[in-house]
Amino acid sequence: MPVSLLARSPVFLMTQSGDGSGGLFGLLLPLVLIGLVFYFFIYKPQKDREQEHEEMVKNLEQGDKIVTIGGIHGTVQRIDEDSVLAQVDSKGTKLRINKQAIASKGEDA
C-alpha cells in the first residue's frame, strides 16, 4: 500500500496521537456533560416536584379534598403544624395524616 493511502485511512487517522493538546479537555468534557445531564434530567425535576408539593401543602385549607400516598381520599377538617385531620367517609371517620403523606388535592382528588 502506498504511504499516501495509508495516511488517509480512517484507522490510521484515529490512531495518530498528534501533539497531545486537548488531553485535559478530552478527559473533563465527558465528566462535565454527565454532570449537566444529571442536573437537568434528575436533580432539577426532583427539586421542582418537591417545591410544588411544599407549596400545595402550604396552601391547604379546611374543606379541601385530598388523596394520600396510600390512596386514602378525604376532606381536610383541621390543619396542624405537621399534620391534617381528614374526614374519610360520610359516617364521620377521621384520620390524622402527615402533611408529607398528602399526594394531591382538588375536586377530582
Q: Which domains are present in the chain?
A: 28-105 (2.30.30.140)
Burial category of 97 from C-beta neighbours within 10 Å (exposed 0-12, middle 13-18, buried 19 and up): buried
Give the residue with greater pLDDT, 1 vs 74. Answer: 74
Rg of the chain over Cα atoms, rounded to whole angstroms, equals 29
pLDDT digits (tens, 9 = 90+) for 19-76: 555 688 888 999 999 999 999 999 999 999 999 999 999 999 999 999 999 999 999 9
Residue 3 confidence (pLDDT) above 80: no
pTM: 0.65
